[in-house]
Structures are given as structure tokens and as C-alpha cells.
Amino acid sequence: MVLDLVQAALGLISPEMWAISVHAEPDRILLYVAVHEHTAQVAEDVDDLVFELEALQDRAIAIEAAVHVGDPGAAWPGDLGRRVYLAKPT
């Protein structure tokens, strides 16, 4: 799953994104994205990420994406998933 998400994310990680993580369950995939701010571009990038991830699956499976505005600290729901991207602090 992690490699699928890394492949799906190629070219889709925008500067607004702080972190991406994934959590797989038997009947769905939970995708978490932490951003500086939720913009139309972020929404489009997340939709594209879900589309690309769906295309890499061997079977039909629900993919749910949650966007969190704020840093990817302990309060971020994605902290429970497997992190696949974390922006370098500036």
C-alpha cells in the first residue's frame, strides 16, 4: 500500500502539503493529508491522488481522504497511519 501511495503521489505533492499518511483496512484505505491551508488547488491535488491510488489497486476498494489544516503533530489523525511524506520544516 505504501509503495502504491508513493507512486500515486508522484508530481502531486504541492507546496501547501505538510504530510501524507495512509492506513489500510480490509475494506477501505484511509488517506490523510496535512496542509498549511485548504485551497481549491489542494482539493484538486487530493482528488487526483485518490484517483491515481484507485488506479493502482488490484480490486475495487473504498478510498477515503481526510484533509487536516495544521501541522502533522499528535493531533493530526494521520499520525496513526504510515507516513509516506513529511515536508522539511522551513
**Do residues 5 and 22 touch, judged by C-beta distance below 8 A?**
yes
Topology at the third CATH level for domain 2-86: Alpha-Beta Plaits (3.30.70)
Q: In this predicted model, what pLDDT tens digit does every residue of 13-29 receive, in sequence order?
A: 989 999 999 999 999 99
- Phi first, then psi, for residue 6 (nearest 5°) are -60, -45
pLDDT value at residue 3: 81
pLDDT value at residue 10: 85
Average the pLDDT over 68-74 and give the result: 90
Residue 82 reports pLDDT greater than 90: yes
Q: Counting Cβ atoms within 10 Å, is residue 10 exposed (0-12), middle (13-18) or buried (19+)?
A: exposed
- Phi first, then psi, for residue 34 (nearest 5°) are -100, 130
Query: Taking the domains of the chain in order of start, what are their residue ranges?
Result: 2-86
Gap between the Cα atoms of 60 and 2, Å rounded? 17
Which among 57, 59, 83, 89 has a CA at the least distance from the CA of 71? Answer: 89
Average the pLDDT over 63-86 and give the result: 92
Query: For the chain, what percent of residues have pLDDT higher than 90?
Result: 74
